[in-house]
Structure 1
Amino acid sequence: MADERLIGLGASAGGIETLFELVAGLDHDLPAALFVVLHQSASARTTLPDLLGRRCELPVDAARHGAPVRAGRVVVAPPDRHLLVQDGRVVLSRGPHENGHRPGVDPLFRSLALEAGPSATGVVLSGLLDDGAAGLLEIVRHGGNAVVQDPGEALFDAMPRAALDQVPGAVVAPAGAVGTALREIVARDPLGTRRPSPQLVYEVRVSRAQPPETVDEDPPGEPAGLACPDCSGPLFALGDDRLHRFRCRVGHAWSQDSLRSAQDVVVEHALYEALRALEDKAALAGRVADAADSRGSALVARRSRRKAHEALRQAAVLRRLLSADVDDGEDQDGHDESTTEQEGQEGR
């Protein structure tokens, strides 16, 4: 599909409001196929296609696996499926989560880079953390175009800022002007062709949930000495000095920021497990002490109460750690989008 103009739109927290404004500014005759990924809960029943369709002059469809790619239409990813393009058709995949998400923005962007090369355009909108930055860089590295929502007007500016860190030459526009930027981009002829890199081919294949080509195939990188938060498998370092990313053998992928956020969740879970174990230990020791008292075994009772006291002392340390203030600027992505989407839908 080298001659087809393919445009990917990626958003997270604050994305509902941004997409409403963006699609309202799209031309009714825009000669490109558009694909939308919004982070959302896997169990959500989304009405996003209907909501966008009320505001957009282009037809808006929920993605269907195997449907042909058509210019002048907007296709929206469903919950719990990566939205990809292959050989001129829509692919919905339950491939590994990327940055803790499915659908993910990076898989869509990489798919467009592989499918269309210089005819691909990626658009990064409001959201937390940095999903979309790596995929946008791949689009540009393969000759395509990049558009980023102006961070100053985004409800959540982390995704736009991360995208600009990787692609500082991207077109920057407020949501309402993105349609104009896209019209200007598709009016220009694509510049040349680019052969896809082996890493791009590998990562798109993983997102499609295709099996490895060899039994012992590992991600194309060095062991990072870190564990995957999703499956506890070893992570391999991908990318270069400009962009640090990680992928495990089964395919879960993490940016640097998303991995740190997921590790925070893993650590908190582990601390709560340890707290529960210590308080269970104290409760059991207390029961043993009470039973010993009833039998007149004072020595056993004293020993058990000492054990209960020590366990409670250790548990108190964990409770102080868990209740300590954290930097609100490092909130993990993925908890508020479904709420934001629901509020956006209920408010309209």
Structure 2
Amino acid sequence: MAERRIRVLNAPPKDAPSFERLEKPPTRNRNVIVIGASAGGVEPLKQLVGDLPPDLMAAVFVVLHVGPTSYLPEILHHAASLPAWKAENGAKFEAGNIYVAPPGFHLLLHDDHMMLRRGPRENLARPSIDPLFRSAALSYGARVVGVLLSGALSDGTAGLRAVKAVGGLAVLQHPKDAAVPDMVKSALRYVEIDHCVPAAELGGMLGRLAAEPAGETLPAPPGIRLEAAIAAQEHSTMKDEDRLGQLSVFTCPECHGPLWEIEDGDMLRYRCHTGHAFTSEAMMEAQSAEADEILWSLLRAHQQRAEFTRRMAERETKRDRSELAKQLRERAKEYAADAEVIERILESRRTTAASNDAIEEQGAGK
């Protein structure tokens, strides 16, 4: 068991079976499996990898929204019969292995190796699911199986659309089986899904799909290529990104630059000149967080102004400057009243958010 734990932290052994040697030209199997998960995604991930066959003829890549520290490679390594590794920049990958995006980096695929990039966050996350799915779609076309598991908001939907656009397969954890079903519900709205099953069925299904020959790879739309290049930090000019959509009236919640509005089928997305990307759901979440930050800042400012003015009034009272002290006290009351208004707004936002969460939980339970 100790030997297996050590292997997680190092590159795959040189004698590992070659990814290309496992190809059987001219027929190629679906040998690239990309998986995205967020809130509530660890348990279905463990279930999935634990059910993968030990002779899986595919490489598996995982993105989970994480903080600055992650033990996911070790967790999956012990849950699966396949070895799990932390993805390394420039490293080649092999069939029969699981590779996990490290914190703070987008995981991208190109030819037979992995790339890690500290590009702009997409859908408020880095690593983000969409960049992995897009890069896999561009490099491997119909050989890709994209999988979305439990998670909040809608990261992964645009990436899954890219996988489908080139002839790959789209697989979901069933929303009734997901602890947080937002991501899979978003994919169901905007993507033509091939399979939607509980987590307990995913591992066996992926094993069977990986053994099947892939279909025909379709040409990738230019927008997918451009967005993949942005994630890889190969393009960073406003002229290039303007081709993605129309310039909108909105500004980026992350860098406050202009946003381009992208119509991706029925789905509406946004991207700024820096490269930050948002689905409409992620955009609303980011705007809400920005509004809260502004309100809390205003509340602190008004509270401090009220307190400072009160102290100045006391000081003037001690100096027998009663008229000035009266004016300062009146001004302090105005600042305090402003602070109370902001507090009521924040309380109203908290109540609304709690009510919306309760409605969503009821809907998920149906």
Match of 2:246 among 214, 218, 222: 222
Match of 2:325 among 301, 310, 313: 301
2:9 is matched with which residue? none
2:227 is matched with which residue? 203
Q: Does 1:277 align with 2:315?
A: no
Q: Does 1:77 align with 2:105?
A: no
What's the CA shift string for 1:137-167, capped at 9, x where partnerless? 1100111001000111111111111111112
What's the CA shift string for 1:75-118, capped at 9, x where partnerless? 01111111110121110110110111000111111111111111
Q: Does 1:16 align with 2:42?
A: yes
Measure, in 2, the Cα distance between the counterparts of 1:60 and 1:181: 20
Q: Does 1:110 align with 2:156?
A: no
Measure, in 2, the Cα distance between the counterparts of 1:239 and 1:62: 35
SS in 2 for 1:326: helix
Q: Displacement of 1:184 after TM fit?
A: 2.8
What's the CA shift string for 1:295-327, capped at 9, x where partnerless? 211111111111100110111000011112123
1:35 is matched with which residue? 61
1:156 is matched with which residue? 180
SS in 2 for 1:138: helix
Return the TM-score normalized by structure 2. Answer: 0.86
- 8 A contact 2:251–2:258 mirrored in 1: yes
Q: CA 1:235/1:280 → structure 2, altered by over 3 Å: closer, same or farther?
A: same
User: Where does 1:113-192 land on structure 2 (aligned, <5 Å)?
Assistant: 113-192=137-216
Measure, in 2, the Cα distance between the counterparts of 1:271 and 1:282: 16
1:335 is matched with which residue? none
- 8 A contact 2:34–2:133 mirrored in 1: yes
Q: Displacement of 1:65 after TM fit?
A: 0.8
Q: Does 1:61 align with 2:97?
A: no
- 8 A contact 2:316–2:324 mirrored in 1: yes
Measure, in 2, the Cα distance between the counterparts of 1:237 and 1:101: 19
Q: CA 1:183/1:228 → structure 2, altered by over 3 Å: closer, same or farther?
A: same
Q: CA 1:73/1:165 → structure 2, altered by over 3 Å: closer, same or farther?
A: same
Look up the equivalent residue of 1:38 and give its one-letter code.
L
5+ residue gaps, structure 2: 1-19, 358-366
Deviates more, 1:263-272 or 1:322-331: 322-331
2:110 is matched with which residue? 86
How many residues are matched? 328
Q: CA RMSD in A?
A: 1.7
Look up the equivalent residue of 2:45 and give its one-letter code.
L
Name segments (4+ residues, structure 1) moved above 4 Å: 1-4
Q: CA 1:81/1:277 → structure 2, altered by over 3 Å: closer, same or farther?
A: same
Measure, in 2, the Cα distance between the counterparts of 1:83 and 1:330: 33
Structure of greater relative contact order (alpha carbons < 8 Å, 6+ residues apart)? 1
Q: Displacement of 1:131 after TM fit?
A: 0.8
Look up the equivalent residue of 1:322 and give its one-letter code.
L
Q: Does 1:253 align with 2:272?
A: no
Match of 2:52 among 16, 23, 26: 26
Q: Does 1:318 align with 2:335?
A: no
- 8 A contact 1:9–1:124 mirrored in 2: yes
Measure, in 1, the Cα distance between the counterparts of 2:264 and 2:221: 14
- 8 A contact 1:164–1:170 mirrored in 2: no
Look up the equivalent residue of 1:23 and give its one-letter code.
V
1:345 is matched with which residue? none
User: Where does 1:331-346 land on structure 2 (aligned, <5 Å)?
Assistant: none
Measure, in 1, the Cα distance between the counterparts of 2:238 and 2:36: 33
Look up the equivalent residue of 1:218 and give its one-letter code.
E
Deviates more, 1:92-101 or 1:2-11: 2-11
1:264 is matched with which residue? 288
Deviates more, 1:89-98 or 1:293-302: 293-302
Deviates more, 1:187-196 or 1:74-83: 187-196
Measure, in 2, the Cα distance between the counterparts of 1:248 and 1:128: 22
Identity of counterpart residues, as a percentage? 37
- 8 A contact 1:261–1:330 mirrored in 2: no
Measure, in 2, the Cα distance between the counterparts of 1:180 and 1:168: 21
Measure, in 2, the Cα distance between the counterparts of 1:204 and 1:168: 21
